[in-house]
Amino acid sequence: MEVGIDKMSFFSTQYYIDMVDLAHARGEAPDKYLIGIGQTQQAVAPATQDVVTMGANAADQMLTQADRAEIEEVIFATESGVDQSKSAAVYVQKLLGINRYARTIELKQACYSGTYGLMQARDYVTLHPKAKVLVIASDIARYGINTGGEVTQGAGAVAMLVTANPTIATLNQDNVFMSDEIMDFWRPNDSSTAVVDGKFSANIYRDFFKEVWERYQSQTGRDLNSFKALVFHLPFTKMGLKALRDVLPEVAEQKQHALMDSFEASRRYNKQIGNLYTGSAYLSLMSLLLNDDTLAAGDELGLFSYGSGAEGEMYSLTLQPEYNQGLIKEQLPNLLAQRTQLSIAEYEKMFDSVVLGSADRELDITHDHAKFVLGGVKDQKRQYVEQF
Ligand code: CAA
């Protein structure tokens, strides 16, 4: 029996900034951001969106009433969670009207935990073939105004429904992973922004990719020629490009061009949205599926997931004949077309309006067009609102 991703859906916030504006404001050459970092725009989260609302807004668009009745687990991956005890999954279960006999859990290991969630879902469905598992990867990447990491911020959520006989792709049982305790990026409990050793983190990413890739090849007997495309965790899109370039010399020139073309398709939306942390590799997968018109049923895709701290994992997916039907085709183009551009001053104000902590507050939700929004905090309880 094949198990994998049956449906995928995406959500990001309605605001963005342009990287040329940010470069000007920070006294950098625009090409450093556009080419050197590989980002053109960046999603900005208002105070009325958090990982719960973004996750619910993503999943809501793809779930039928039958799905909501049949889901057996809700797995929520995030590294920018809103509570140290209560999982984001149980908020989402209620917001989405998912049945009360589902399990709910939140996972954490930096940007890696979305992949762990997906594998947990795959293994559960393998044991329980009638089950549906909802996996959500949702994050707001925050480094701070005028920091080195600022150009690599972003926000959004990817939702995936894992089932037997999936519409999009099977998740193959060929995972190779490694982890090692490394201080490249972390976020202490009292900080709303990440702490990062930027260049070190980028080097560790590359080292992990190389080591995991070599181990993957020796354990599976596969090589780059086995894959139609490689999909990467993209904290900024140049990062994936560097990793890909490290291994391209392993194949003939024609294959190198084909892999580069697919990579360009896979980073198109990430360039415009920014880092999604846990969801980043899966936004890249959606970007590939929606933008690479050379894909065909049976194609093998390799996916490299990385989370600082640090953990890396490589596995393959096999594309299914009707993969396009598991995606909402116009979702991403529409979302991008409908966003409002902020000036850098407006972005800075919005960034500072996001408060960590449980102080009571009422938020103005009238400007937020999303279905699920955070209305405020009352008696230290987060108040989620369904607007339509
Ligand atoms: N035209 C074209 N390119 C230019 C340029 C110009 N005018 N000016 C500079 N560049 C290039 C540089 O040559 C450099 O390219 P290479 O990396 O290929 O050498 C690139 O632009 C970036 O320049 P710098 O290295 O000088 O940039 P920086 O010091 O400002 O920092 C960064 C870059 C370290 C990525 C920083 O943005 C950062 O700390 N980001 C957050 C951390 C991060 O994303 N780490 C990734 C791995 S960790 C991970 O994956 C988990 C996660 O999601 C966080």
User: Does residue 143 have a known ligand-binding role?
Assistant: yes
Instruction: Give 211 Cα–ligand 1 centroid separation in angstroms.
Output: 22
User: Does residue 291 have a known ligand-binding role?
Assistant: no
Tell the burial category of 158 from Cβ atoms under 10 Å away from its Cβ (0-12, 13-18, 19+): buried
Task: Give the class (CATH, top level) of 3-167+327-386.
Answer: alpha beta
Give the C-alpha distances (Å, rounded to integers) separating 141 from 5, 43, 153, 360.
25, 10, 5, 24
pLDDT, residue 319, reads: 98
Q: What percent of the chain has pLDDT over 90?
A: 99
pLDDT, residue 250, reads: 98
pLDDT higher than 90, residue 258: yes
pLDDT higher than 90, residue 355: no
Model confidence at 223, in pLDDT bands (50, 70, 90)? very high
Model confidence at 357, in pLDDT bands (50, 70, 90)? confident
236 lines ligand 1 (CB under 6 A): yes
Equal CATH topology for 3-167+327-386 and 171-325: yes
pLDDT higher than 90, residue 356: no
Average confidence (pLDDT) over 69-90: 98
172 lines ligand 1 (CB under 6 A): no
Model confidence at 181, in pLDDT bands (50, 70, 90)? very high
Domain locations in the chain as residue ranges? 3-167+327-386, 171-325
To the query of whether residue 257 is one of the catalytic residues in this protein, the response is no
pLDDT, residue 12, reads: 98
Average confidence (pLDDT) over 331-344: 98
User: Does residue 189 have a known ligand-binding role?
Assistant: no
Q: Give the integer Cα–Cα distance in Å for 335 and 329.
A: 11
In what helix (H) or strand (E) does residue 259 lie, and over which residues does it extend?
A: helix 253-273
* Backbone region of residue 16 per phi and psi (left: phi > 0; alpha: psi in -120 to 50; beta: other values): beta
Model confidence at 313, in pLDDT bands (50, 70, 90)? very high
β-pair type (71-77, 361-362) = unpaired
Model confidence at 111, in pLDDT bands (50, 70, 90)? very high
To the query of whether residue 2 is one of the catalytic residues in this protein, the response is no
Instruction: Write down the architecture of domain 171-325 according to CATH.
Output: 3-Layer(aba) Sandwich (3.40)
β-pair type (311-319, 300-307) = antiparallel
Average confidence (pLDDT) over 139-153: 98
